[in-house]
Amino acid sequence: MSSISFEVAFRGDTHRVSLPSDDTVASLCARLEELTQVPPSAQKLLFRGKKIGASQEGVTLTQAGLRDGIRVQMLGSTTQELDALHSTESEHHKKERILRERALKPQIKARLMILTPFFFSFRHADYRFHKLEPLGHLPEPSSALARLSKLANDPAIQHIMQQHKFSVGLLTELAPHESPGLLGLNVGSGQAIKLRIRTDAYDGFRPYLEVRRVFCHELAHNVWGEHDNNFKELNSRLNREVAEFEAAQAHGTHYLVDVRGTYQPSSNEEGEAFVRVLGGNSTLPSDSIEDRRRRALEAATSRLKKQEEELEQSCGTTKPPSAT
């Protein structure tokens, strides 16, 4: 059996190859892989205007046109180079995927973050609402549950519950026709808090901020039963901390909690005060940021004091059981 000897040039090196003339091109490519570390699938063999490769299955060297003394030029990438290329491509695809995912997310404007002690405090799992339950025999229980959930997930409420280590076993509602005259009731110092969230005619729900204010009142009964000075001091403190929390958000101080949509001014006086804080439209150019914030808090506190006097008349916590 005759053999064929020829030269294969690759990247400045010349390899002398000698194979039987009836060997296939695939056999030649396998031999070249041993010499150059270029896999057969990546090899391109050029000679006398022809191009051959491992894809030419069953074609012998003679049939491919190879002869003794011919010089073949080989092109191709080594296995190591291909692995590096694939790794680079994978990293590139990964970056493209991350960029695409980022592009699909809603854009959030960067704002100055002022870290507060609340952010660093340990958020205990027990200081929360353990159960939410609307009254199933009343209309639209799912809507009532949504109202209770809004209160339970209110960042300002979560803040004061963590700060004072408050826990509420059950948050539920009061039926207007079953408890006329009552807006809230605390049972067992926080075992259950019941709130009147519906209108008298059952055709809707009471304003959220009013319900939340009643809740703060009832939450103070977790510690104090009677409406004495101790109770009033704690109740005022809870309302003040809620106002401060939301004023800090309006002012740009973040507690690193999502509080969007929480603050809703419920009086012209308080609303005007917060407009000054947010928009900087104060009639006193020399006012400092703290002055504007203080006025907003004073307006809210003044309003809350008046409303608290009315809430005490509608609180069932300190009344005899027959009143509920």
The helix-helix angle for 229-251 and 268-279 (nearest 10°) equals 40
Q: Dihedral of CA 248/249/253/255: which sign?
A: positive
Distances (CA, A) of 240 to 3, 88, 232, 248: 99, 57, 12, 12
320's tokens: 């005899």
Residue indicated by tokens 């009836």: 22
This prediction has a pTM of 0.47
Annotate 262-296 with DSSP letters as a single string. -----SHHHHHHHHHHHH---S-TT--HHHHHHHH
State whether residue 18 is helix, strand or coil. Answer: strand
What pLDDT, on the 0 to 100 scale, is given for residue 122?
A: 45
Nearest to 145 by CA among 96, 84, 205, 94: 205
Q: Which residues of 243-262 are buried (b: 16+ CB within 10 A; e: fewer)?
A: bbbbbbbbbebbbeeebeeb
Nearest to 71 by CA among 12, 117, 7: 7
What pLDDT, on the 0 to 100 scale, is given for residue 289?
A: 80
Tens-digit pLDDT profile for residues 260-295: 444 444 444 444 444 333 344 444 556 788 888 788
Tens-digit pLDDT profile for residues 24-80: 999 999 999 999 999 999 999 999 999 999 888 899 999 999 999 999 999 999 999
Angle made by CA atoms 109, 155, 262, in degrees to the nearest 5? 65
Nearest to 16 by CA among 71, 98, 89, 81: 71
What pLDDT, on the 0 to 100 scale, is given for residue 42?
A: 94
What pLDDT, on the 0 to 100 scale, is given for residue 107?
A: 58
What pLDDT, on the 0 to 100 scale, is given for residue 293?
A: 78
What pLDDT, on the 0 to 100 scale, is given for residue 299?
A: 79
Q: Name residues of the chain where pLDDT drops below 70.
A: 1, 106-124, 252-286, 318-324
State whether residue 89 is helix, strand or coil. Answer: helix
What pLDDT, on the 0 to 100 scale, is given for residue 300?
A: 73
